[in-house]
Each structure stands twice: as C-alpha cells, then as structure tokens.
Amino acid sequence: MQPLELSAIDLVAAVANGDLTAVECTQAALDRIAALDPGTNAFLHVDQASALAAAEAVDAKRAAGKPLGPLAGLPVGVKDALCTRDMPTTCASKMLEGYQPPYDADTVARLRAADAVIIGKTNMDEFAMGASNENSAFGPVRNPWDATRATGGSSGGSAACVAASMSTVSIGSDTGGSIRQPAGLCGVTGLKPTYGRVSRRGLVAFASSLDQIGPMAHSAADCGLVLETIAGHDPLDSTSLDEMVPSYTQMLEEPLAGIRIGRVPAHFGEGLDPEVAAAVEEGFRVLEAAGATIHDIDLPHAKYGVATYYLIAPSEASSNLARYDGVHYGHRTSEPCRSDAFDSPLVEMYCRSRAEGFGPEVKRRIMLGTYALSAGYYDAYYKRALQVRRLIRQDYLDAFAKVDLIGGPVSATPAFPLGEKTDDPLAMYLLDLYTVTTNLAGVCGISFPCGFTGSGLPIGYQLQAPALAEPLLLRAADRFQRLTEWHRRRPPSA
C-alpha cells in the first residue's frame, strides 16, 4: 500500500486500522520531498527529525491502545505564514529570515492535537502578497504540471506540494484568492472558509479583515476532514466565530436535487481563455446532471472588486507591517547609520532595515496603502473602498436570496509562464478578478479541477456559498468529483 496514493480519509483509516504506520506515511512524504522538491521549491523548511518523532508518537499511542486523533498519521504541509514553535516562520521574506516563533498558531496546535504530522513549511509570496508565488525571497515555486509555469499565489507552495503528492493535504491562507487560485492552477482542491470560521491567531497578518486559513487537498472530502479539525471558536481571537463545527464529511451524502446554482454572465466576457470558459461551462452541466438547477444572476458591483481590494488590502498591510522596523520585529540593517540624508541615525536605521528586508511587491503595497490612508486622501480612497465593499457584500446577500451557490471560473487563464507578468503589476492584480469578492463579502468559496487544456494544464472551477454554508459547498464539490475524474489526475512527475 502506497500511503501517498491514498486520500486523506483512507490514509487516516489505514493508520487507525494498523494497515499503515504513521512513520511509513511520514517517511513516504519525506522521500518524495527529497526527490521532487529540488525542482519544485514548494518547501522552505522540512524538519525530518521532528516529523518522524511526531509519527513515532502516533504509532506508540496506537500500540498502547490509546485513542488516536482524527488526523492520526496524516502528513501536512503548512504555509510559512503560520507560526510554528519548532520551525522557522519567515513569510518567505528576508525581513523574517531565521525567525522561530515561541508558540504555534491555533491551526497548527489543532493539527498537532489531532495527531497530524507537520512535515514542513511551504513557500509562498512574501507576506502573502502575490498571485504567482514569484515574490518569495527564496525563489519561485514551479508548477508540478509544467516547471516553466507559475503555481499561482500566494499559497503556491501549499498547492504544489499536494499536486506533486509530497504531502496528502496542506494548509494555506486566502486574502483575495490565495488558496483558490493556486489550487485551480495546480489541479487540486482548495477551500476558503467563511471569515472567522478558522482562527487567525498565529497567522502573520496581511489584511486582517480579509485573511482566512483553509485546507488544500486532492478532494473536497479531504478538505472537509481537515476543516473539521481546524475550524472552531478560539477565545483568543476576537474575530473567531462562536459557532458549532458540523461533521462536514458525514454531510456529503445528501443529494443536490433542488439546489440552485447561480451563473454570472459577466464572468464569461472578454479576457476569459476559451478553454477555461468551455471547461467551466461543462462544470455547470455536470452539476445540473447531479440535480442542481442553473440560474443566471448579476453581481453588479463585482466589477469594482479588484480596485476595492487593492485599496483595502494594502491599507491594512501598511498598518500591519509597520511593526517590522528592525527594532520591534524583523531584520535590522548592519550598515552604519550616520548619513546626512536622514533626520537621525534612528530614522536611517528604520529606512535601511525596511528597504533591505522587504521585497519590491511588499514595498509597492505598503506605499499604496500608506497613500490611501494619508491625510487628505483617506476619504477619497480608503473610506470609499469600504463603502463599495458594503455594496459588494449586499450583492452577495441579494444573490443568495435567489440561489444557494454561485459557480464560475477561478482564474481567467490556466497557469502562465514564470516571468510573464512580473513587470506588469496591474496584469498580476487582475488575476484576482474572480476571487477577491469572496473575501470582501466574507463568504466561503472552493476551487476544484473541472478540466485540462490541450497542453495538459489544469483548469479550476469555483463555487461560492453564503457565510457558514461550508457543508453545502463541500457537498456540491464532492458530488462533482464523484461524477468526474479530473481531481484524480496527477502530474507526470508524481
């Protein structure tokens, strides 16, 4: 039995039954990382000794007849934006290079308590700012389907490690599509839960009103299994929802008969790749065959989503990243600070530290956000963006009064060549066209494979659901995957 060929649900069952050991599962993941990651760069840190020690502890519990956690023996890759007490947390930035937190993020603590085995920290766009995973200070992640192409971002490493079967599941974060977009470009399933469904404590903040942690796996059922563990109220996170966590996996059997799915005609206009459009339209037909009905709807303010997002998110980033000044947190310059060009040596030290520690995209967004928040411009930019955000949220509330789910593309194109958009920030920002409104509205969304291009690149399908409607979202995605085989395809190297 090859552990990494199993679903997460089957792997956990095999460990519980004694058909596999946690050590066997962990070693299989570590072996694949050693073989494949040099060409993929999905991991920034792998701690083989700690992973095997955790796996041995799981096997010892089973041998002693003690109850096992719901994720016992499951290899998990964790995005490097989540704090881990025993591994560095760098956010793929020189600003935090070598930093090791003194505590685990709530999600990491829940995974450990469930007997999952954390095998390493995955690469990402620096401070989660990017749509291609080319902004990492430690090199881009390469798409397992074609090493010359991007994985999407910012959770590119988390998507790539699952696509290449280096881990069974992974954890990402999604601020404007950073789970769903790389999942779509890498041919895996990625779930962005409702804002507050998963605690953000221990997630290094990008945009605090938008960030959300979620699972990535080959299937919706496996995402549901992981969400059962990481979701739930955290009294130490003021934005955490105090709502019961249902058994998502036990609710997958309910049929889709009578479920209404909205289709937004404006999503199929100019700029959408024809192969993507055809695959997504076929996705609607699959769901219709499963018993759902399809209805055209309108999200009139969605066209302002990218502009709204790129005012709100950078503004929050400007505030959140102000702490990285070389004194409170982060890299401190080693250059002497006595230049006459600065008001004082202290100001010079701040400026040099931030200039050396942050990469170009992070600097760009800090400047955008700082400008939008500055005196004389706050009302014109940030305040107005918040008002448009409220209109976007109302569009979703109105739409969900008519339909149960909204379907459509994840991104306008399949995976694009590395370097193609790095010199055109606007083109990169437009990659988030179909995903940012989910975060702005605070609802949940999922991406899963719905086809492949003629050249063999994955195409993603997105479903969005009302707040806390993850059971329906997962049920619809799971039903789609029972009727198709797209999610079972693996890259040639895997």
The catalytic residues are: 79, 154, 178
SS3 label, residue 437: helix
Collapse the DSSP code of 332 into the 3-class scheme (helix H, G, I; strand E, B; otherwise coil) and give the result. Answer: coil
Rounded Cα distance, 120 and 124, in Å = 13
* Continuous H helices in 405-469: 425-429, 436-441
Residue 354 C-beta-side C-alpha neighbours within 13 Å: 20
C-alpha R_g of the chain: 22
Q: How far is CA 148 from the centre of its chain?
A: 22
On the CB side of 141, how many CA atoms lie within 13 Å of its CA? 36
Question: Taking the CB of residue 195, how many other CB atoms lie within 10 A of it?
Answer: 22
Structure-block tokens of residue 27: 């070693």
DSSP structural state of residue 304: G
43 sits in which H/E element: strand 43-46
Q: Is 361 strand, coil or helix?
A: helix
C-alpha 473/C-alpha 220 separation (Å) is: 9
> What is the Cα–Cα distance from 152 to 131, expressed in whole angstroms?
5
Q: Is 230 left (phi over 0), alpha (psi -120 to 50) or beta?
A: alpha
